[in-house]
Amino acid sequence: MSDALLEIRELSKNYGNLKVLEDINFSLHQGEILGLVGRRGSGKSTLLGLIGGNIQPSRGSILLQERQIAYLSPSQARNLGVELVYQSPQLVSQMNVIQNIFLGREFSRLKPFSVPDWDRMSERAGDLLADFDLPYDLINES
């Protein structure tokens, strides 16, 4: 039994005959920070896309708390807590912090003719701001 939060085993991605990633192995434990460094085209974004469910691996395992997530969709991975934040954040300037945080998450789960649970979203956004030691009054800023 592993105590790793995230474990990558023998992960590979090929596009036809082009091997983008081959036999990648690493684990990430509670409290660790992992830096991913490499030249342009070395497969950094591909690796993150694999972890986030945006790209399907050619082979290998991606384990999140010992659960296989390698072949999940982005929304399934997101539901398990896997989020990708890109170098150029895609924020909507007309929306406040809460709306930007939940854009593409909460709204994608709504049934027809239902409304977002703004109170729950506000509470969750407040928790996220607290996690990063950001002031709560940011919540309504756009």
Judge contact between 55 and 46, C-beta under 8 A. yes
* Count: domains in the chain: 2
The CATH number that applies at residue 55 is 3.40.50.300
In tens, the pLDDT along 84-123 reads 776 666 778 888 877 877 776 666 666 777 777 788 888 8
pLDDT for 53 equals: 92
| 35 lies in the same domain as 62 | yes
pLDDT for 106 equals: 64
Its domain, for residue 101, covers: 97-140
| 74 lies in the same domain as 101 | no
pLDDT for 142 equals: 65
| 18 lies in the same domain as 70 | yes
pLDDT for 1 equals: 61
Report field, pTM of the whole predicted structure over 0.85: no
Which portions of the chain are predicted below pLDDT 50?
A: none
Share of the chain above pLDDT 70, in %: 90
For residues 30 and 32, give the distance between their C-alpha atoms in angstroms, rounded to a whole number: 6
pLDDT for 90 equals: 74
For residues 30 and 48, give the distance between their C-alpha atoms in angstroms, rounded to a whole number: 19
| 73 lies in the same domain as 121 | no
pLDDT for 124 equals: 84
In a domain, 84, yes or no: no
Amino acid of residue 86? Y
For residues 67 and 70, give the distance between their C-alpha atoms in angstroms, rounded to a whole number: 9
